[in-house]
């Protein structure tokens, strides 16, 4: 009977992972394939503005700061309790009342700062300050809508309704990317029109996910308020996760902030191509993680620790087997890859010296994140908090000095070597504190995958 339960659990994870990958692979590939057309139709400076919008979205996650994964975990835990379904509506309403002021605050902050950003931060040569100001203000509205929709996505993810979630994500991505491409290719190349269209898509997205989540987790009545007894057990975990999320954003986005001030907007557009590929490498793990985290949490809540460890190791092995060779191949073929992708020789020449280091560093970062997933499943975030603090104290001055002395090339080298050093040291500490029995198996997997990647590259290059 126990073996049957294990097999059913694995089949559930595999099925949900396949659903997630099919949906999110579409979203990721569409985004990557469509972006070069934006570069061609809008020009390098307007594309740099889209890159700056991506940067703002990342930094405004500070206002979410761990609330979304806390909701995913809380919903997953409530489902495993006998009377848990009765409290899901009160849980969602409580998080709604937390997210709403955060979303409004994010939009107001960006709109208020739009004129200053346009005239004192971005280095534009052809786009007028009035155009920049209008576009940045629209970014504030889009970010507020997306932040609020994240609440509902997290609730649906915690319910493990992956089929519906991915169908909705595919629909929104199709509208966002293909609709945007149709707009800039056939009707208007004005970036203001592009961002106004994205506001409309953001509103549709928020209404769609809100409607689904509220049907699945209805509040007892429309005047329901914060349920403090329900929130109180979540707060310590959410607080540690929030600080970790803030530090994570600093670690992954500091280089992009500094370069947005240093580089002309057209060159920042080229750098945005590099950042898109680097982010794409890390995002390849998202479908698996969205399936994995609720399942790891449920297994721990049910006391099935050995099964959780086995699932953790299998998922880590799968990710590294896919990402390490992919990143190495991108590093070797950076210039022809960018040229084939964009058809822009200037973008390919500019990007090739930095793309390899960013690709390798991003693959290592995606693999390193599994140590966070293990701590998440145990509900013990203090180790990750200390790791984030120490990493930030080291990485911030290193990245600042690297960019000061070597510009974008220094940023690329610092990105890689900081990630590689962390990956060499941190997993052993986490495993020793939480799950000593898994480190030997984990290390064996990493050495084998790294060796096979190196052998494959040696054969490819003729060494």
Q: Are residues 166 and 205 in the same domain?
A: yes
pTM above 0.75, yes or no: yes
How many C-beta neighbours within 10 Å does residue 434 have?
16
Distance CA 201, CA 199 (A): 5
Could you list the beta-strand ranges (E) of 309-432.
none
Higher confidence at residue 348 or residue 67?
A: 348
- Model confidence at 81, pLDDT cuts 50, 70, 90, reads low
Q: What is the pLDDT of residue 82?
A: 55
Is residue 458 a part of any domain in this protein? yes
> Residue 230 — very low, low, confident or very high, per pLDDT cuts 50/70/90?
confident
178 domain-assigned:
yes
Tell whether 8 is covered by a domain.
no
Contact call for residues 358 and 275 (beta carbons, < 8 A): yes
For 33-55, how does the pLDDT look when each residue is reduced to its tens digit (9 = 90+)?
Answer: 888 889 889 988 999 999 999 88
Tell me if 420 is assigned to some domain. yes
Asked if 206 contacts 31 with a C-beta cutoff of 8 angstroms, the reply is: no
Confidence of residue 6 (pLDDT cuts 50, 70, 90): very low
> pLDDT tens digits, residue range 157-206?
888 787 898 889 999 999 999 999 999 999 999 999 999 999 999 999 99
Number of H helices, E strands in the chain: 17, 0
Mean per-residue pLDDT for 417-444?
Answer: 93
Structure tokens at 199: 């506001």
Last residue of a domain, one of 171, 199, 226: 226
Contacts of 345 (CB under 8 A, 6+ apart): 339
Average of pLDDT values for 410-426? 95
Q: For residues 277, 360, 386 and 77, what is the CA-based torsion angle, rounded to 10 degrees? A: 60
Interatomic CA distance for residues 349 and 378, integer angstroms: 46
Of 218-227, 243-252, 306-315, give the range with the top mean pLDDT. 306-315
Residues 60 and 155 in one domain: yes
Tokens linked to 414: 């610092």
Q: Taking the CB of residue 458, how many other CB atoms lie within 10 A of it? A: 10
Give the C-alpha separation, 103 to 109, whole Å: 10
Task: Report pLDDT for 178.
Answer: 95
Judgement on whether residues 401 and 447 belong to the same structural domain of the protein: yes
3-state helix, strand, coil in the chain (%, to 5): 90, 0, 10
252: nearest Cα among 399, 120, 144? 399
The dihedral through the CA atoms of 52, 55, 56, 57 has a sign that is: positive
**Has residue 406 been placed in a domain?**
yes
Domain final residue, candidates 210, 226, 242: 226
210 lies in which domain range?
A: 19-226
Same domain, 205 and 267: no
Q: What is the pLDDT of residue 297?
A: 85
- In 3D space, the residue among 380, 444, 397 whose CA is nearest the CA of residue 241 turns out to be 380
């Amino acid at each position: 009977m126990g073996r049957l339960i294990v097999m059913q659990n694995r089949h559930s994870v595999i099925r949900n992972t396949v659903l997630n990958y099919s949906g999110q692979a579409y979203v990721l590939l569409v985004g990557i394939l469509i972006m070069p057309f934006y570069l061609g139709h809008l020009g390098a400076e307007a594309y740099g503005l889209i890159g700056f919008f991506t940067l703002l979205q990342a930094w405004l996650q500070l206002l979410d700061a761990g609330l979304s994964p806390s909701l995913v975990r809380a919903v997953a835990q409530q489902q495993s309790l006998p009377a848990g379904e009765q409290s899901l509506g009160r849980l969602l309403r409580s998080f709604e009342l937390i997210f709403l002021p955060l979303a409004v605050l994010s939009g107001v902050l960006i709109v208020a700062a739009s004129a200053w950003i346009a005239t004192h931060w971005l280095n534009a040569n052809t786009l007028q300050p009035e155009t920049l100001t209008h576009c940045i203000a629209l970014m504030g509205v889009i970010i507020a809508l997306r932040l609020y929709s994240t609440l509902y996505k997290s609730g649906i993810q915690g319910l493990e309704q992956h089929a519906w979630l991915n169908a909705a994500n595919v629909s929104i991505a199709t509208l966002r990317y293909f609709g945007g491409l149709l707009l800039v290719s056939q009707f208007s190349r004005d970036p203001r029109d592009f961002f106004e269209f994205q506001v409309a898509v953001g509103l549709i997205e928020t209404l769609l996910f809100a409607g689904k989540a509220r049907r699945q987790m209805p509040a007892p009545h429309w005047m329901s308020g914060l349920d403090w007894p329900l929130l109180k057990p979540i707060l310590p975990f959410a607080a540690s996760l929030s600080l970790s999320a803030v530090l994570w954003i600093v670690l992954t986005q500091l280089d992009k902030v500094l370069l947005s001030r240093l580089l002309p907007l057209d060159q920042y557009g080229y750098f945005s191509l590099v950042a898109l590929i680097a982010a794409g490498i890390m995002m390849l793990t998202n479908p698996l993680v969205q399936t994995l985290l609720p399942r790891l949490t449920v297994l721990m809540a049910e006391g099935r620790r050995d099964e959780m460890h086995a699932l953790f190791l299998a998922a880590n092995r799968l990710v590294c087997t896919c990402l390490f060779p992919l990143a190495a191949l991108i590093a070797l073929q950076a210039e022809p890859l960018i040229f084939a992708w964009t058809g822009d020789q200037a973008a390919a020449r500019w990007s090739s010296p930095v793309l390899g280091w960013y690709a390798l560093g991003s693959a290592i970062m995606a693999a390193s994140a599994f140590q966070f997933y293990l701590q998440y499943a145990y509900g013990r975030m203090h180790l990750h908090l200390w790791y984030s603090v120490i990493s930030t104290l080291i990485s911030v001055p290193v990245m600042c000095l690297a960019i000061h002395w070597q510009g974008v090339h220094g940023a690329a080298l610092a990105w890689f070597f900081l990630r590689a050093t962390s990956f060499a040291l941190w997993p052993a500490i986490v495993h020793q504190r939480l799950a000593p029995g898994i480190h030997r198996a984990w290390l064996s997997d990493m050495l084998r995958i790294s060796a096979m990647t190196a052998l494959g590259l040696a054969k490819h290059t003729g060494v």
